[in-house]
Amino acid sequence: MLITFEGIDGAGKSTQVVKLKRHLQELGREVMTLREPGGTEVCENIRELLLQSKHDIAPVAELLLFAASRAELVEKVVVPALGKGTVVILDRFSDSTTAYQGYGRGLSLELLGKVNGIATFGLRPDITFYLDISPEDALIRKFSEKSLPLAFDSEELDRMESSGLEFYRKVRDGYLRLQEAEPERIVLLDAQLPPATLHEQISALVEARQASRQGQE
């Protein structure tokens, strides 16, 4: 089973990934968690290039770097793990590319569809949790957690995060459209709910999805 988490930076995905992993392990499931971009040495190097460098990367080059990292991760790690019956939880997957490089950077959705298809080898998540929050609230959350003053030129922000509020508004809008187009797969959740409440909703939905998959087998 492949479970993915999506949302703009600061939506609280990582917290939910950790909670869901623990929950499924307690139920006796083999679980692997990964974050994108990352997961193998090559992917971590691509991550460094994409997020830590202050270089201005051309939008199509940025798209292909995220895609290259995904292709490496899917082929080397995700597909073999799923083959062994492991539950794989991904912190971001191809919907991030559609939202950030498509809606955010303005690349054509046709190009996005093609590149995503190549990078994932056609692999689709069984369920995706989209944690929805406004860019303003996400930014406030990020800075208040660290007790820092709010600023877009802060050293605290990586290359993507320095893209500005207008960019994040487009990314959020992209996620909402994706969710509307695929409500069966993408579950819309309010990221401002308490983490424990969100976890309860998420784990209940995962268990229901697992039960229905087993019923179909």
How many angstroms separate the CA atoms of 35 and 8, rounded? 14
Minimum distance from CB of 39 to ligand TYD (Å)? 11
- Binder among 3, 4, 9, 112 for ligand TYD (CB under 6 A): 9
**Is 66 among the residues that bind ligand TYD (CB under 6 A)?**
yes
**Is 97 among the residues that bind ligand TYD (CB under 6 A)?**
yes
Site for ligand TYD in 42-61 (CB under 6 A): 51
Minimum distance from CB of 217 to ligand TYD (Å)? 30
Number of residues that bind ligand TYD (CB under 6 A): 16
**Is 100 among the residues that bind ligand TYD (CB under 6 A)?**
yes
How many angstroms separate the CA atoms of 141 and 156, rounded? 13
Which residues are paired to 129 by β-bridges? 5, 187
Q: Using CB positions, name the residue nearest to ligand TYD.
A: 100
175-214 footprint of ligand TYD as x/- string (CB under 6 A): ----------------------------------------
Backbone phi and psi for residue 4, each to the nearest 5 degrees, phi listed first: -120, 150
**Is 129 among the residues that bind ligand TYD (CB under 6 A)?**
no
Beta carbons of 90 and 70 less than 8 angstroms apart: no
In the complex, which residues of this chain contact ligand TYD (CB under 6 A)? Answer: 9, 13-14, 35-37, 51, 66, 91-92, 96-97, 100-101, 160-161
